[in-house]
Structure 1
Amino acid sequence: MSKKDFNRFVEQASKEKKSKNIDWEKRREEWIHNLDEFYNKINSFLTSFIEKGKISIEFKDIELNEEHIGTYETKSATILIGNHTIRLRPIGTTLIAAKGRVDMTGAYGKVKFVLVPESADKPQVKTMINTEDMSGKASEEKDNGNETSDWVWKIATSPPAIRYLPLDEESFMDAVMEVTNADSEDSDG
């Protein structure tokens, strides 16, 4: 790569930065709000088990650091079921194809929860080639393309053919069983 190529890259990157007027503080606040909604939803799925003392959930303050947003405080959760420990850890909001992600890990695996448009059934990444003679309106439409969508939490299946499954009580319980390997344990009926 020549200095001329590098200079062109720097110029283009500078223009892109100026054209994207993303309110990162607002994005962080929305993300924290979405995380709270996620934890409330999970808690509602497990309420009857918590009330009976069969499951407990512990929340812990953690720090995340994301490009553009910086370092901020949020929380992770640990679900305790007998000898099983399941952790829910937020990954962040500056992601490709999702507005946020939380990973659930157990001794036997990981399940990814993603915040995506309600209509999404798989990852969708839009690519746009921007030339200097394109109007500012075209760039604006790209940046705000999903702003009117309703964002919901879904479960992302494993690659390569990633699909989004609705997050409901049954799918969450299936995910817990997956990461604890409970679905392969013998039961007496």
Structure 2
Amino acid sequence: MGMENLEEFLKRKKKDAERNKIDWEQKKQQWLAEIAEFYNQVKAFLAPLQEKGLLSLDWEEVKKYEEYLGEYATNKLYINFPNQKVVIEPIGKNIIGAMGRIDMIGKNGNIKFLLVDKEAESPKVTVHFNDGLSKGLEKIRETKNPEYVWKIATPPPNIKFIDLNEDSFSDALLEVIAE
């Protein structure tokens, strides 16, 4: 019986591994699209100020490397004001508690933009232990298919998520540049 049990166990593990295999190239392309979507929002927020000559935008291509995703090229955005500039740079896709992170860095600090569940108001990390009930967990995963959106994360320890819109972005930008 020992060899039969071992063989059955290994077959189950192999089947589970194939079912749970992650397409990292697809994840990388998805991340690049999410970055582009974020930048499109930012450009729309800043367009009226740019048209009035109050700021300008510059782009710089940067290489990033993330475990599993590998190396990829993306852009860093510089928002140029008189006498100072702000940098907006993607940090990574594989972030604990979020589906991605982009930082805005100015002389007065750093603002974090996180790609999170549209309904989320603060971070929530759930830990599941595989105790043979994996079929039940699969059903939970299948029923919850959240929509992800960019939100501003307040500083720790009591992190809250603020919906990203023209006003919240303007407030965040002012926070990193105001004297």
Q: TM-score, normalised by structure 1?
A: 0.80
How far the C-alpha of 1:138 sits from its partner, in A, is 3.7
How far the C-alpha of 1:27 sits from its partner, in A, is 1.0
Counterpart residue number, 1:5:
none
Counterpart residue number, 2:3:
none
CA contact (8 A) 1:91 1:101 kept: yes
Counterpart residue number, 1:160:
157
**Using the alignment, how far apart are the partners of 1:145 and 1:94 within structure 2?**
23
- Cα deviations across residues 78-117 of structure 1 (Å, max 9, x unaligned)? 1001112100010111111110000100011000000001
Counterpart residue number, 1:6:
none
1:1-189 equivalence runs, <5 A: 18=17, 20-131=20-131, 133-135=132-134, 137-141=135-139, 148-180=145-177, 182=178, 185=179
* 3-state secondary structure, aligned to 2:38: helix
**Using the alignment, how far apart are the partners of 1:63 and 1:143 within structure 2?**
33
Counterpart residue number, 1:9:
none
Long gaps (5+) in structure 2 = 1-12
Amino acid at match of 1:149: P
Long gaps (5+) in structure 1 = 1-13
Amino acid at match of 1:156: A
CA contact (8 A) 1:101 1:113 kept: yes
CA contact (8 A) 1:153 1:166 kept: yes
In structure 2, relative to structure 1, the CA distance for the partners of 1:90 and 1:144 (3 Å cut) is farther
Amino acid at match of 1:153: W
How many residue pairs were aligned?
165
Q: Give identity over the alignment, percent.
A: 39
**Using the alignment, how far apart are the partners of 1:91 and 1:128 within structure 2?**
26
**Using the alignment, how far apart are the partners of 2:68 and 2:143 within structure 1?**
20
RMSD between aligned alpha carbons? Answer: 2.0
Q: TM-score, normalised by structure 2?
A: 0.85
* 3-state secondary structure, aligned to 2:96: coil
Structure 1 runs of 4+ off > 2 angstroms?
17-20, 137-146
**Using the alignment, how far apart are the partners of 2:126 and 2:142 within structure 1?**
12
Amino acid at match of 1:174: D
CA contact (8 A) 1:20 1:143 kept: no
